[in-house]
Structure 1
Amino acid sequence: MIQRIILACLLGIGGMISSATPAIGQSNAAVRGTVVLAIPADVSVPVPVVGLPYTHVADVTDQLFLRLGFLKSSFRTVGDDALTPMLARSWRRVDSLTLAFELDPRAMWHDGAPVTTHDVMFTWRLMVNPAVGADHAVIEPIAGIDSTGVRTFRVRFRRAFAEQLYLIGFNLQPLPAHLLERVPVDSITTSEYASAPVGNGPFRFERRVPGEFVELRAYPAFFLGKPTIGRVVFRVIPNPATRLNLLLSGELDVLEYAPPSAMAQIRAKRDLRVVTFMSNLVLYGRFNTRAPGDTSRPHPVLGDRAVRDALVSALDRGVMAERIYGRNASVPGAVQSVSWSWIRPVRGTAGATSRSAVRAALAKAGWRDSDGDGILDRNGVPLRIGLLYPETSAVRHDFALQMQAMWRAVGIDAHLERLPGPVGSERLNAGRFDVEMGSVNQDASPMSLTQSWSCASAREARSSNKTRWCNPEFDRLLANAITGKDPVAGYRVALAHMARETPAAFLAAPYNNIALHSRFENVQVWPVKAWTSLWQWRVRRGAELPRDR
């Protein structure tokens, strides 16, 4: 994956956390500086592997728990030099199916215990436990891990492929065996440890006020270097409009995906600056190919690829994306963010086909306006489609409104189903929907498509493949790309096949407009695991706010 533009922002903001902000203790005297960020939901279990697999959860856990290695600035995931060391000091290739690792002897848990191979082995057992890990399709290529010493181990793979190092090194975040191995697996998420985890990263867990915030403190003895930010506060703010208002009032320091409609307000603040950088976000309207409520049968409308093709052709996706993101978004042909541009550029504009051509295509599939009411029908059944999305997402609502209008213009009756999160999740899990207005923050490698766009994920109840899309040819092409000699070319072929099969209307691959508080220096933000370098930020001398001291 290509590098997210590294930000080095010399900005200035004058606000401080107001009385509306939770009463949070002053920052560490030895390490000054506080960063206040927003997350859309609470993080009840700030522990990798056992916690929920959501981006906002990883935003927190990545500050507490290190990976074996992190991607280099190119963000390519291919080769034995794809990572830079973090928890692992080094690795070497034993043969085409085996990598040997050595942990950094300086690494320690925040309680002072050393990080050892025992922690790696314990965590691996959790990852492969069906009761814990949710994305087994991703780690399927790993045959096992063998201990070879106190700080050394070998990873065995089922087959040779170019992203072996990335797969294990980037995705394994060891947990402390000495604190967890006596806790029953099904009790870890409700254990005392889960409420106050002990990690090995640059920040240690300070406290969590449910529904309000999670507070982390710098760990001065961090073996990769003393953090230059003393405190991080993740505030739980589900509503995007509220986040914007808190940024403008000085209560937040960072706002990701700042809306274009708010640019004038943000730029009018002398203490804020907007920087645009690469993103791993993709938005789509994903078609349910299985019958709502009965996934054993094809969807009566969307199971027909000709209908899906016509639905996409009716949308002027370039216009839709520009109305929401301005010129900071492209329209991908498949599920590809701009951060995967190392595979192929995302430069599409995707205008609509003429209405007459769309109607002709639908008529060929049997859909005509037989009663003159303006809505196409077949055998007396109107062409009616529901668009399901969470009530908190203003962006998805805006896309849904545009889709509704453009589909109505060709005789398709689209109704909006804007639901509370838990209700929408229940509908998605049960398969009782037509179109999922969704989005995804993509992993660094297209290898992760096995999690949500494969036949294996379609069969896994807890996977993110809620539409149960299963295309054996795509699976074959993706597997060939993963194991082939030229993964980049292979991924191109696989994504092109996905585009032809139309599993979704891919709406936008936006860049990220980030609004930053101006007092921060040495700012780095990445397209995947965005806040990995947060511990290296610092507050410019003389620009401190009261909450920094």
Structure 2
Amino acid sequence: MSAAALLALAACGRDRPASGAGSGSGAGDVGGTLVIATAGDADILLPPLVASLQAAQITSQLFDRLAEIDSTMNTVGDAAFAPRLAKSWTWSGDSLSVRFALDPRARWHDGTPVRAADVKFSYEVYADPATGSPATELLQNVASVDAPDSLTAVVHFKSRRPEQFFDFVYNVYVLPQHLLGGTPHAALRTTPFARQPVGTGRFRFVRWEPNQRIEIVADTTNWRGRPKLDRVIWSFAPDPAAATAKLLSGEADLWEMLRGDAIGQVASKASLRAMPYASLDVGFLLFNVRGGMFADRALRRALAESIDREGLVRSALDTLAYVATGPAPRALDGKPHGAITHDLAAAARTLDSLGWRMGPDSVRAKSGKPLAFGLMVPTTSQVRIRLAVLLQEQLKQIGAKVTIEQLEPNAMMQRLGTHKFDAMLHAWHADPSPSTVRQSWGSAAANAPGSPNVAGYASRAFDALIDSAALAFDPAQQKQLYARAYDTLTDDAPAVWIYELRNFAGVHRRVRPAGVRADAWWAALGDWSIPAGERIARDKIGLRTASAR
């Protein structure tokens, strides 16, 4: 089914505006249970260590930043940010420090007041390489954080940069020093807190049943006001088909990744609607360039030349995805960046010149070693499983033998963490800033514990261009520098950028979404609502701890 037809289905019938301004939804209309189906469990609920989208969704409801970005996703300066834990902030005359005045009403869920010492402690946790946080690389321009009094936190920067406010505020969730301050940063991952967190958000943690569900409930006395929903439950499914089944059966109210026929099934079901939404997701083939055959740039480029990206996207996703323009999604950039052209003949010539000769079994070999490698793919992604099969066939034409390895998410994370893999079909959920590409491809993160740079890619030229772009105050110059950085990355071929999804979520019609942002559809989950007149049995559980059936 074409995207145009699916968009028409999503818009027809009893569809309601995403703003949630439908009948029966008033400011005082609170209550209801939202069950979110998701493929795979969360990895951890300690914000600095979160790697999975499931965990990111949940921790963002339990913890707060000092300020929150709005839907414009303008990362330059502070104009796009609204107060959260900080009620206000002021800049120094030289713009090398910003002074945050904390909201004195803010409390941790155990009743302890939020203090500036928590902000200072949080920065130290995120910035310490021993913690193993993916955000450490993004805080390199922060010199220090001071707490001159209990309600004032001062962030000092090494240099003036267009995105210095964003770099700190967006990447640091504030953590409770009184609960974690006595734990070595390297040991935070194994603390009970990492699975039973205490935050400041509008929801508080209730329970985590591994591989089954995580439940959070409204913090009714929250200083920012209680959320409109009573509770939110993430219901884990072993794969996307099972998650879709939960939605279609009524067991769940939302499934964020509808694909193929499921979109039509949802749109034709009276109780559900298909909701298109923007995203910052890019899917790609990633090589482990730390050693072995993929340390050879020429080999990687030859394999990239043998891949027909348009054919892959057309066969696996039809019109439900775009061919990727490069490492940055369209919403952040939109300009194609020197993709390596599909050319089987040129790829064959390069492989021959490198000594990879075709054998009688139609597999190339060099010095007795076959051109064979494993391709990891998560069991939770039907899209990437389909793409893996298609890639296997395309690469076979050039004489490469690909073995598909389907792994559960936790097993895949372990393999990535120990660098024991050849290649994988990966997906990156970008932050609003183009500079965050450093997380996945910057040299400083190549061997850091827990780093998103799982490929091990390192390039001084790329680093210099990204750093220069991040320092540029002129928008035109900044865009040009980012373009050159993306071209450098694409030319080196540590990955082959394949697709950007056109996202559709299946949502129960009684649910009124609000504040759906491209970087995080869940950002304003506390403002989602279910009108009293449309509630079903599980909406009437109230605030007591009980199973939602």
Output the CA distance in 2 between the equivalents of 1:170 and 1:37: 25
**Helix, strand or coil at the partner of 2:295:** coil
Partner of 2:207: 207
Further displaced range: 162-171 or 328-337 = 328-337
- In structure 1, the partner of 2:153 is 153
1:388–1:437 CA contact under 8 A, matched in 2: yes
Q: Distance in 2 between matches of 1:239 and 1:502?
A: 30
**Residues 513 and 528 of structure 2 are in contact (CA less than 8 Å); yes or no, is this contact kept in structure 1?**
yes
CA distance in 2, matches of 1:158, 1:164: 10
What is the TM-score of this pair, normalised by structure 1?
0.86
**More moved, 461-470 vs 346-355:** 346-355
Number of the residue aligned with 1:474: 462
Task: Give me the whole-angstrom Cα distance separating, in 2, the residues matched to 1:59 and 1:289.
Answer: 31
The code of the aligned residue for 1:253 comes to: D
Alpha-carbon distance in structure 1 between the residues aligned to 2:191 and 2:418: 30
1:303 to 290, 295, 300: 295
Q: Is the 8 A contact 1:126 1:133 kept in 2?
A: no
Q: Which residue does 2:446 correspond to in 1?
A: 458
Say whether the 8 Å CA contact 2:90–2:99 is kept in structure 1: yes
Amino acid at match of 1:418: Q
Aligned-residue identity in percent: 31
Confirm or deny that 1:358 pairs with 2:355: no
The residue correspondences of 1:65-464 to structure 2 (distance < 5 A) are 65-94=63-92, 95-135=94-134, 136-182=136-182, 185=185, 188-189=188-189, 191=191, 193-291=193-291, 299-300=292-293, 302-340=294-332, 344-345=333-334, 353-369=342-358, 371-464=359-452
| CA–CA separation in structure 1 for the residues paired with 2:206 and 2:347 | 57
Render the CA deviation track for 1:157-212: whole Å, top value 9, x for unaligned. Answer: 12221111101111221122333334565665555545543321111122233332
Q: Would you say the 8 A contact 2:76–2:163 is kept in 1? A: yes
Q: Distance in 2 between matches of 1:346 and 1:248?
A: 38
What corresponds to 2:543 in structure 1? none
Residues 331 and 11 from structure 1, CA distance in 2 versus in 1: closer, same or farther, beyond 3 angstroms?
A: farther
Q: Pick from 47, 50, 53: which aligns with 1:52?
A: 50
TM superposition score normalised by structure 2: 0.86
Give the SS at the match of 1:452. helix
Give the counterpart of 1:503 among 494, 507, 513.
494
Structure 2 Cα separation of the partners of residues 247 and 349 of structure 1: 40
Tell me how far apart the structure 1 counterparts of residues 513 and 228 of structure 2 sit (CA, whole Å): 10
- Output one character per residue of 1:267-318: Cα deviation in whole Å (capped at 9) or x when no partner: 2211111122211211111122232xxxxxxx33x33333222212222212
2:494 maps to a residue whose letter is: P
CA contact (8 A) 1:11 1:518 kept: no
Q: Amino acid of the residue matched to residue 103 of structure 1?
A: L
- State whether residues 337 and 483 of structure 2, in contact with CA within 8 Å, keep that contact through their aligned partners in structure 1: no
The change in CA–CA distance for 1:484 and 1:44 in structure 2 (over 3 A counts) is closer
Call closer, same or farther: CA 1:114–1:290 in 2, change over 3 Å: closer
Tell me how many residue pairs correspond in the alignment: 515
Q: Which amino acid aligns with 1:417?
A: E
Q: How does 1:504-523 map to 2 (within 5 A)?
A: 504-523=495-514
Name the residue aligned to 2:10: none
Alignment check: 8 A CA contact 2:205 2:215 kept: yes
Give the 3-state SS of the residue equivalent to 1:282 in structure 2.
strand
User: After superposition, what is the alpha-carbon deviation per residue over 1:499-524, rounded to whole angstroms, capped at 9, x for unaligned?
Assistant: 22211111111121111111122433
Report if the CA contact (8 A) 2:40-2:380 is conserved. no
Change (3 A) 1:43 1:268: same
Residues 382 and 46 of structure 1: CA distance in aligned 2, closer, same or farther (over 3 Å): closer
Deviations 1:323-347 (A, max 9, x none): 333323222243222332xxx2167
Distance 1:471 1:519, change over 3 A: same
Rate the CA distance shift 1:46–1:459 in 2: closer, same or farther, 3 A.
closer
Distance 1:427 1:133 in 2: 16
Give unpaired runs (5+ residues) of structure 1: 1-5, 13-28, 292-298
- Tell whether the 8 Å contact from 2:510 to 2:530 is kept in structure 1 after alignment: yes
Q: CA deviation at 1:43?
A: 4.0
- CA 1:73–1:430: 2 relative to 1, 3 Å: closer
Do the aligned partners of 2:275 and 2:504 also contact (CA within 8 Å) in 1?
Answer: yes
1:453–1:360 Cα change, 3 Å:
same
Q: Deviations over 1:240-280 (max 9, x none)?
A: 11101000001111111211232222222111111222112
Q: Deviation of residue 458 (structure 1)?
A: 1.4
Task: Confirm or deny: 8 A CA contact 1:62 1:529 kept in the other structure.
Answer: no
CA distance in 2, matches of 1:189, 1:376: 44
Q: Which sits farther off after the overlay, 509-518 or 259-268? A: 259-268
Residues 337 and 346 in structure 1, CA contact (< 8 A), matched pair in contact too: no
Rounded to whole Å, the distance in 1 between the matches of 2:88 and 2:363 is 63
1:83 shift after superposition:
1.6
Conserved in 1, the CA contact under 8 Å of 2:278 and 2:503? yes
Tell me: CA distance 1:133–1:189, structure 2 relative to 1, closer, same or farther (3 Å): closer
